[in-house]
Structure 1
Amino acid sequence: MLRVSMVLALSLLVATVAISAELSQSVGSEPATAGPFVARTVAQAKAAGVDTRVVLTGRVVKVIKADEFLMADDTGELLVFTPKGALEGLDAAGSVVEVIGRIDQNFMYTEIQAESVRIIP
């Protein structure tokens, strides 16, 4: 019984080391030591997990409400929810914006919960 336990423990250790090595060599432009991943395109945001930070630059396709709009870049489109009134009084449709926030999953689609939205002149 002791021999079986030792073999299982050793196997678990080897598997853990192998998985750690694989994760540290993950595909991407930023090394693993550079900190958390930040999505910079709509395609990256859609592929990333919930709560991933985003810094996106794109154009406003359609303003849906004073706190909700559809944005697009060269890689796709995403729905963006802004802090209440962030777009109030601005004619944002067609404008180029920078959105900083986090990815949220709502039912079957990905959206952005924006912390800030800045219209780029």
Structure 2
Amino acid sequence: MQPAFATPPRRSGLLINDPIESVRFALYTPDQSPLRSADPDDFHFPVDATVAFEAKTVEIPKLTGVYIRTQDSELVASYSVTDDETTVPSGAYNLELNTAPMKLYLAVKSEVSIEK
């Protein structure tokens, strides 16, 4: 059983449902982007399921730590819930969200700015 992806019922973004762990997690975006297949090779770490979407910002509905790594897994920055902001220049990164109820990575190609 693979994780499933859908749009949240009341906001734009991404709803992730993990049937094995019986958990859901949502990421919110300003506008709804069509969900399409993604390339698992965009992630350094092995992933069970992928989805692609476009967004200028992604809102994480709860405070979480984030590791920012290059696509070769080199740690370039991290964000802690006690930090005000973390920024890295434009590039290709894998973001690991620490407190999601499942192992969750975002592969991004842009500047990354994380703030409360």
Q: For this structure pair, what is the TM-score category when the shorter chain's length is used for normalisation?
A: under 0.3
What TM-score does the superposition give when structure 2 sets the normalisation length? 0.26
**Highest CA radius of gyration, 1 or 2?**
1
Task: Answer 1 or 2: which has greater helix percent.
Answer: 1
What TM-score does the superposition give when structure 1 sets the normalisation length? 0.26
